Amino acid sequence: MKILRIAFLASLVSAVVSTTLLYKSLSGSRETKPSAILEQVQTHIPKEPDKTSFNILLMGYGGAGHSGGGLADAILLANVNTLTKVVNLIAVPRDIWIENMKINSAFAESAVKAKSVVEKVTGLPVDYYAAIDFSRFERAIDVLGGITVDVPVAFTDRFYPIKGEENNLCDYALEQVEQFKAQFSGFELEKQFACRYETLNFRQESTPMNGATALKFVRSRHAAEHGGDFARGVRQQAVLTAARNKLISLDVLKNIDEFFAEFSKLIVSDVDEEDVIEILSLTGNPSEYTSKNINISADNYLQSSVSLDGQYILIPKAGSGNWQEVHGFIKSEIK
């Protein structure tokens, strides 16, 4: 039971949930093939035999040592269709305004709240969630032995923040700092302190990445060519797909028990053992699944706005709180 639960949770982080179960790899392993766990899976009768899809909310957050560490920096909903054998990865922009707050702040309140608001935005019920913080994300990618990501768009970001340098005055005198504060505000003020940032360059090609590089890749926001949260959603989908591909490779699974024991320490989730058995019996062979990316953005059904307290937010073009067009779009895109 433990190994299947660990395998399932590990794959949640990799985000292509059809491979979360690693059924093919597990059933082919000498150590696990005769196990009572797999026998349970193979003989299990689903409680909901007519259930053809399930949805798992995947979130990344800063964690300790990061400003706003409890906020969800990355939000994706994985819809697994067991009939079409497709995992639909729906990127949810963190600046969406719902219930008088940005959607990324819901996780700081509770996982239950995060699941509730994502359901309202997407129109899909959220069955489970999995979350990982930045440092554990780095470790997870490194435990995989690194990944190879198909970079969708080349970009240069000259303002990627260096951890621990947030308050560095870059050798400016206090008088100069005060002049900057009088002249600039927001990110324009931050840009005056160049020593707080490093420059990232990514070309549009298959790129090997360790954990630190993958984290920079998915968090980058300020590239002229591919910046902002919508672009980050696209890059997060690319990393999750790459992690899925690596996760099911034979190299990763040579020492499956040791690997998953390490991986299981990195994730927070509400999935239990019974859930694993149930989902395994419904999904079948994960190697048969493909993935599809779905994005809601200002290019289709969202528009920029400002909250009453001055925050940049995203609301539906149909009107604040009206998610019907978004629901229809997602439903039409799901395969």
* pLDDT tens-place string over residues 50-72: 788 889 898 888 887 676 778 88
pLDDT at 227: 84
pLDDT at 3: 36
pLDDT at 251: 52
Torsion sign across C-alpha atoms 328, 52, 82, 93:
positive
Phi and psi at 192, nearest 5°, equal -70, -20
pLDDT at 264: 62
How far is Cα 113 from Cα 108, in angstroms, rounded to an integer? 9
E strand or H helix at 143, and its extent? helix 134-143
pLDDT at 183: 95
Q: Which structural domains are found in the chain, ordered by start?
A: 2-145+252-333 (3.30.420.590)
Pair 59, 130: CB distance under 8 Å: yes
pLDDT at 217: 95
pTM above 0.95, yes or no: no
How far is Cα 247 from Cα 13, in angstroms, rounded to an integer? 10
Helix (H, G, I), strand (E, B) or coil at 5: helix
User: Which residues in the chain show pLDDT less than 50?
Assistant: 1-37, 252-253
List the helix and strand counts (H, then E) for the chain: 13, 14
pLDDT at 242: 86
